[in-house]
């Protein structure tokens, strides 16, 4: 089946630094990818929709200058958390759509900002 790979799985960074998370669709082309954030034991929160070759669409309340999304190819989208702070510590998950009906999820990236 289709696989979406997210990297890294874990990252610890210092406050004020930036962290890049990659989301790759391994065996299909994804014109649309979604980025989510999940705090422990809470629901997934959609952050933004990433479309290949165009600017991402951010959900209300998500700072686009802080969470930079680049969907440069049909198999790769990246989320960069800029100037990270401890409150950005969370679990970030991507998903990639194959066609209109199938969504495949990455295993998530656990970000800890110290």
Partner 1 sequence: GQNIDQPTEMTATEGAIVQINCTYQTSGFNGLFWYQQHAGEAPTFLSYNVLDGLEEKGRFSSFLSRSKGYSYLLLKELQMKDSASYLCAVLDSNYQLIWGAGTKLIIKP
The answer to whether 11 contacts partner 1 (rule: CB under 8 A) is no
- Near partner 1 by CB under 8 A, which window of 13-21, 22-30, 75-83, 88-96? 88-96
Longest Cα pair distance anywhere in the chain, in angstroms? 39
* Residue 10, phi-psi category: left (phi > 0), alpha (psi -120 to 50), beta (remainder): beta
Angle at 77 between CA 99 and CA 96, to 5 degrees: 30
Least distance (Å) from partner 1 to the CB of residue 64?
17
Footprint of partner 1 on 28-87 (CB under 8 A): 34, 36, 38, 40-44, 46, 49
Of 3 and 72, the one with the shorter C-beta distance to partner 1 is: 3
């Amino acid at each position: 089946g289709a696989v979406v790979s997210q990297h890294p799985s874990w990252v610890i960074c210092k406050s004020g630094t930036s962290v890049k998370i990659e989301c790759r669709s391994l065996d299909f082309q994804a014109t649309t990818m979604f980025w989510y954030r999940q705090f422990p034991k809470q629901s997934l929160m959609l952050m933004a929709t990433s479309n290949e070759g165009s600017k991402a669409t951010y959900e209300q309340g998500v700072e686009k200058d802080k969470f930079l999304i680049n969907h440069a190819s049909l198999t790769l989208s990246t989320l960069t958390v800029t100037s990270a702070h401890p409150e950005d510590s969370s679990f970030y998950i991507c998903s990639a759509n194959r066609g209109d009906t199938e969504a495949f999820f990455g295993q998530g990236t656990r970000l800890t900002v110290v």
